[in-house]
Structure 1
Amino acid sequence: MASVLITGTSKGIGLEAALAFARAGHQVFATMRNPTQSPALAEAAAAEKLPILISKMDVDSDASVHDAIAAILKDHGPIDVLVNNAGVEAVGSVEEVPLSAFRSVMETNYFGVLRCTQAVLPSMRERRSGCIINISSVAGRICNPPLTAYCASKWALEALSEGLAGEMKTFNVRVALVEPGIIDTAMARRIEHPEAKSPYGQSARFAALFEHSLKTPVPPSLVADKILEVADSGTWQLRHPVGPDALGFIQWRTAMTDEDWIDMNAGDDATFFAKLGGSS
């Protein structure tokens, strides 16, 4: 049985990952910003009598991360697996998304991961054992407007993870990236319904793309199963695309030059969707 810390477990992928690890017999420390406002995981854990302990932690706060993880280490011993799942999005053109939103996305999706990772690394390094799984996205491998702010944070996360993997393999600590495609989460549903009209047509285009994809929704439990598989398998593979469209999106991008990719994103909807359809 491993000791597993998972961030962002109030809903979606984080909640399902907590359930998947606990059902597999692992001790789960599930963290979220406001446990009292998000009772779903606690109710499921109680109903199934699962080994899940829920605690409050805000990955945007140095003090919150330090105190929460220090308490777990003090009361329960070392963490074997860290799953950095907490994440937020921002949708819109570079012109229209406020600088504060760019900062907020980077604070959670990049610095939040860094805070949690630095808190567990000393113990993992000293024990020469451990696994860190960072939940990235296909958006960590490709960039489409209007998700530029989100993609930038995930590209940063990919770089952090790749560099960290090279450092930690020296100490027998595994680092992995899980890269979901379009998954039926609250985040995806928000992208499906843009809030405001824009002179930039990409927001409406991506809303249509997500709306079409979500007609055959892929549950977050699929990603949770992949996270559990990565942890339990002992694999040293760095990147793990997951979902029926994930690898297709990545291959679509790598098959095009940078200039062709930019022209396609700058072009009309008909051309964009024709090229997307031709990639599948």
Structure 2
Amino acid sequence: MVSTLKIALVPGGSRGLGLLVSRELLDRGHAVAIAARDHDELTRAKEQLSPHGTVKDYVCDVRDADAVKQLVREVEQDMGPVEVLITVAGIIQAGPLEAITVEHFKDAIDTMTYGPIYCALEVLPGMRQRRSGRIGTVTSVGGLISPPHLLPYATAKFGAVGFSEGLAVALAGSGVTATTIAPGLMRTGSHERAFFTGQSAKEYAWFAPAASLPVLSINADRAARIIVDGVLAGKPTVLVGWLPKVAQRVHGLAPGLTTRGLGLANRLLPGARPEQSGLQEGREAASALNSKVVKVLTTLGSKAARKNNERG
């Protein structure tokens, strides 16, 4: 069945920012295909999004090029040609360098660098043939500067920025646009689904409040509106919130000073313990921390987690 609505595909659309971007697209009259790894999570997301318009859900791991190829094939058979792609799928792994492994880098890069590459290259032939299409890649302030204790994340996001900006250059004059989206911290509730290593509870204690407090983080609904506005308008770059705007300017003017400043911040964060290994999800780290202060500081983030399908 082919829809008469414009079709948007949102990999990572089952929760958090991806869920809100999907809802924003639905509210603007698009039919939306959401994709993620978790079937149950997709089912809950579809139920939440369905009142806003036509939505279909697809299980797909963006780390797998063949799975992405199958995803696009199924979406276009079921719904019609993909005219808007916004790739949001991502993971966060926080911890000191001593606790980071090669596998952490591989998972981050496969998800947040190769994932957007696979998705974009799969929808591009049809878009170029039609001389019409919008591609948005959600990167991060962590793709403009490298924050402490987020090295795999930043490595992957820097790759995504390079791909997305280069794609915009390569598509100039084709009728297809590529938008590099760099948000700062957003109150999506993602701190509960982030992963922590080293002294996991202590890592959660700084990360979760930062991702929850006003001023430090932006309202996620507003972020989704800004993102969709920028992608549909075909803007080459969308900076969401004050943090990436400041980071871009300061790093551009004084890259060495920026790196030294971030190095000082790194020294203030928790170190690793040899006996601790592996990744612990935010919800588990919060339980282990059991801090009333952190619970208060993450009140808005916890509310967002409930709202944005970050909890099972």
By the TM > 0.5 criterion, same fold?
Answer: yes
Q: Which residue of the partner structure matches residue 197 of structure 1?
A: 199
Q: Which residue of the partner structure matches residue 277 of structure 1?
A: none
Q: Supply the distance in 2 between the matched residues of 1:271 and 1:247 (Cα, whole angstroms).
A: 24
* Cα drift, residue 76 of structure 1: 2.6
- Within 5 Å, give how 1:1-280 maps onto structure 2: 1-46=5-50, 48=51, 50-189=53-192, 194-197=196-199, 208=206, 211-212=209-210, 214-216=212-214, 218-233=218-233, 235=234, 237-258=235-256, 260-267=257-264
**What runs of 5+ residues in structure 1 fail to find an aligned partner?**
273-280
Q: Supply the distance in 2 between the matched residues of 1:107 and 1:269 (Cα, whole angstroms).
A: 25
Change (3 A) 1:129 1:100: same
Q: Supply the distance in 2 between the matched residues of 1:22 and 1:62 (Cα, whole angstroms).
A: 27
Identify which range, 49-58 or 104-113, moves more after superposition: 49-58
Change (3 A) 1:271 1:109: closer
The one-letter amino acid paired with 1:222 is R
Change (3 A) 1:136 1:181: same
The superposition leaves residues 243-279 of structure 1 with CA deviations (integer Å, 9 ceiling, x where unpaired) of 2433233334334341x2333233368999xxxxxxx
* Cα drift, residue 207 of structure 1: 5.1
**How many equivalent residue pairs?**
263
* Cα drift, residue 59 of structure 1: 0.5
Residue pair 2:94, 2:203 contacting (<8 A) in 1 also = no
* Cα drift, residue 214 of structure 1: 1.9
Q: Supply the distance in 2 between the matched residues of 1:208 and 1:187 (Cα, whole angstroms).
A: 14
Q: Supply the distance in 1 between the matched residues of 2:174 and 2:263 (Cα, whole angstroms).
A: 45
- Tell me the percent identity: 23
Q: Supply the distance in 2 between the matched residues of 1:155 and 1:36 (Cα, whole angstroms).
A: 31
**What runs of 5+ residues in structure 2 fail to find an aligned partner?**
270-312
* Cα drift, residue 44 of structure 1: 1.7
**CA RMSD after TM alignment:** 2.7
The one-letter amino acid paired with 2:247 is F
* Cα drift, residue 70 of structure 1: 0.6
Q: Supply the distance in 1 between the matched residues of 2:166 and 2:265 (Cα, whole angstroms).
A: 38
Q: Supply the distance in 2 between the matched residues of 1:177 and 1:43 (Cα, whole angstroms).
A: 29
Change (3 A) 1:263 1:230: closer
SS at structure 2 position matched to 1:30: strand
More relative contact order, 1 or 2 (CA 8 Å, 6+ apart): 2
Residue pair 2:33, 2:56 contacting (<8 A) in 1 also = yes
* Cα drift, residue 96 of structure 1: 2.0
Q: Supply the distance in 2 between the matched residues of 1:268 and 1:85 (Cα, whole angstroms).
A: 28
Identify which range, 68-77 or 111-120, moves more after superposition: 68-77
SS at structure 1 position matched to 2:82: coil
The one-letter amino acid paired with 1:104 is D
